[in-house]
Amino acid sequence: MSISKQLAAHASGTHFGDLPAQAVAAVKRSLLDALGVTLAAGTLGQASRAFVETARSSGQGPSRVIGFGFGAAPSLAALANGAMSHALDYEDTHDAALVHPHGIALPAALAVAQAVGGITGAQFIAALAVGADIGCRLGLAMADDDTRRGWTMRPLLGTYGAAAAVGKLLDLDEARMVQAFALAFNQATCSSGFLSSPNSHMREIRDAFGAQAAVIAAQLAARGVNAYDQPIEGAHGLYAMYAGGRYDASQLTSGLGRVFEGANVSFKAWPSCRGTHSFIEAALGLREEASVAPASIARIDAVVSPTFRILFEPLAQKRSPQTANDAKFSVPFSTAIALVHGRVSLADYLPLALGDPEVLAMARRVHCEVCDDWNFDDSLRGILKLTLHDGRVLVREISRPLGDARHPMSEAALLAKFMDCVRYAATPIAPERARRIAAGIATLERAPDLSALDV
């Protein structure tokens, strides 16, 4: 059986009763996190509002645009919600696969589930579990540097996973699921051109197109539209077209149906690039444990992995970012926030906060260097050294920042993150209702419907 068929059979044939308890718990954590992050983007996102208004202008439909109180056609609701899901760069990540598995899968799956109706909580959990698993496995199998070829693969890999989730909700069999993969593949891609375009919004809204593509692909596959038979491993499939034909097939099928990679995601404890998190954690730890006052710090040195050189170059720009995106991708600025304020929150990346004179002054004291001996497994590693005016030198090394699957956030911390995100929802949500939403997600497998997710 081809790899495409094996993954399609996995998606169509896995049911809630087949999921290990760890996979069920993981889906619920990711669902809470993704919903909160998407709600916050309703007011904090920049370009995503244009997608919301595009969905609104199309007329009413059965699928809710998250946080805005109106419905749209499934594909347009998925488009709008996908534009918000990654807008704050705050959602979960599979660090080894380099995939945000729920940023596309949730907007697509929720839109279709609401349109279909009658979907139980258990069915929805199963759909998200297989979708995240497939998206992550595709990333784990990548054996080539996508950026070298000019691509950003995260949205495309996530689109396959989202197509699996939507296809499952539409009850596609193995053959139709393969075609859903192929039809999604023909619609979704993402150039790395935004990296050299300072005014680009693509990093913010890139998941919108994959979410819409997944919905349309699965709907067309359900109606008998055919594309081709090997959209993953074929001569003109994913790896041939985007990775020079190089991939590790064992990552795609090993433990299939037993190991669900969505359970291995990391969550973001702070609303910035994961590469900044070791330095934030080190700064917060040193500040608290050594009672370091901001005024006592003379110099800050950060040792960064080669993967994240972009987080401090060019140094002048990273010390004084002009946009929220630049700030989130800055070791000097994010470290300075932690040292000055003793916390890092969504509010610290708002436009007015970028001009905080204390943070900017602290960021100017940050100096960075790369440790070329560190490999990919060390990409999130960081060393922070504070030299104080009294001559003391404080050093903290973080190998796996808080939120890593092996250094997880607590359930209480994830709930606190959700509650903070809800504060920024476009349509205000009272704390009591937010807690009810969280409680509904915690017991979603017992729910006869998805009303707990109607926000």
pLDDT tens string 80-91: 999 999 999 999
Return the beta strands (E) in 313-375 as ranges.
Answer: 366-370
User: Residue holding tokens 């070329």?
Assistant: 372
Pairing assessment for the beta strands 382-388 and 297-304 based on DSSP bridges: antiparallel
- Report pLDDT digits (tens) over 338-370: 999 999 999 999 999 999 999 999 999 999 999
The total of other beta-carbon atoms located within 10 Å of residue 233's CB is 19
Q: Which of 140, 135, 176, 146 is nearest to 243 (CA)?
A: 146
**Cα–Cα dist 116/450, whole Å:** 11
| DSSP tag of 371 | -
Binned at pLDDT 50, 70 and 90, residue 151 comes out as confident
Q: Is residue 404 a part of any domain in this protein? A: no
| DSSP tag of 95 | T
- In terms of Cβ atoms closer than 10 Å to its own Cβ (0-12, 13-18, 19+), residue 407 is middle
Q: Is residue 420 a part of any domain in this protein? A: yes
Instruction: Please tell me whether residue 398 adopts helix, strand or coil conformation.
Output: strand
**Cα–Cα dist 42/49, whole Å:** 7
Specify the length of the chain in residues: 455
User: Residue holding tokens 């699921």?
Assistant: 177
Instruction: Please tell me whether residue 184 adopts helix, strand or coil conformation.
Output: helix
Look at residue 143 and tell me whether its pLDDT is greater than 80. Answer: no
Same domain? For 263 and 283 the reply is no
Q: Is residue 370 a part of any domain in this protein? A: yes
Same domain? For 147 and 262 the reply is yes
User: Residue holding tokens 């995106």?
Assistant: 325
Same domain? For 83 and 131 the reply is yes
Same domain? For 151 and 66 the reply is yes
The whole-chain average pLDDT of the chain stands at 96
Same domain? For 155 and 215 the reply is yes
Look at residue 293 and tell me whether its pLDDT is greater than 90. Answer: yes
- The amino acid at residue 106 is L
- Report pLDDT digits (tens) over 226-269: 999 999 999 999 999 999 999 999 999 999 999 999 999 999 99
Look at residue 147 and tell me whether its pLDDT is greater than 80. Answer: no
Domain termination residue (choose one: 355, 378, 398): 398
Return the beta strands (E) in 168-239 as ranges.
Answer: none
CB 374 within 8 A of CB 299: no
Q: What is the pLDDT of residue 432?
A: 98
Q: Is residue 383 a part of any domain in this protein? A: yes
Same domain? For 34 and 74 the reply is yes
Same domain? For 423 and 290 the reply is no
Same domain? For 38 and 164 the reply is yes
Phi, psi of 412 (to 5 degrees): -65, -40
The total of other beta-carbon atoms located within 10 Å of residue 314's CB is 8
- Domain CATH code at residue 389: 3.30.1330.120
**Cα–Cα dist 346/386, whole Å:** 25
H or E stretch including 300? strand 297-304
Q: Which of 296, 224, 252 is nearest to 138 (CA)?
A: 252
Same domain? For 265 and 278 the reply is no
- Report pLDDT digits (tens) over 295-333: 999 999 999 999 899 999 999 999 999 999 899 999 999
Look at residue 395 and tell me whether its pLDDT is greater than 70. Answer: yes
Same domain? For 382 and 249 the reply is no
Q: Is residue 360 a part of any domain in this protein? A: yes
Tokens (6 digits) for 385 = 């050294």
Look at residue 95 and tell me whether its pLDDT is greater than 80. Answer: yes
- Domain CATH code at residue 432: 1.10.4100.10
Average pLDDT over residues 106-110: 99
The total of other beta-carbon atoms located within 10 Å of residue 273's CB is 20
Q: Is residue 403 a part of any domain in this protein? A: no
Q: Is residue 329 a part of any domain in this protein? A: yes
- The amino acid at residue 223 is R
Q: Is residue 373 a part of any domain in this protein? A: yes
Half-sphere exposure of 221 (CA within 13 A, CB side): 33
Please state the pTM of the whole predicted model. Answer: 0.95
Look at residue 200 and tell me whether its pLDDT is greater than 90. Answer: no
Pairing assessment for the beta strands 366-370 and 297-304 based on DSSP bridges: parallel
Same domain? For 259 and 118 the reply is yes
Total number of domains in the chain: 2
- Is the peptide bond preceding residue 314 cis, with omega within 30 degrees of 0? yes
Same domain? For 198 and 278 the reply is no
Distance of CA 166 to the CA centre of its chain: 18
Q: What is the DSSP string of 107-128?
A: HHHHHHHHHH----HHHHHHHH
For the chain, state the CA radius of gyration.
Answer: 22
Domain hosting 389: range is: 274-398
- Report pLDDT digits (tens) over 272-292: 999 999 999 999 999 999 899
Q: What is the pLDDT of residue 99?
A: 92
H or E stretch including 328? helix 324-328
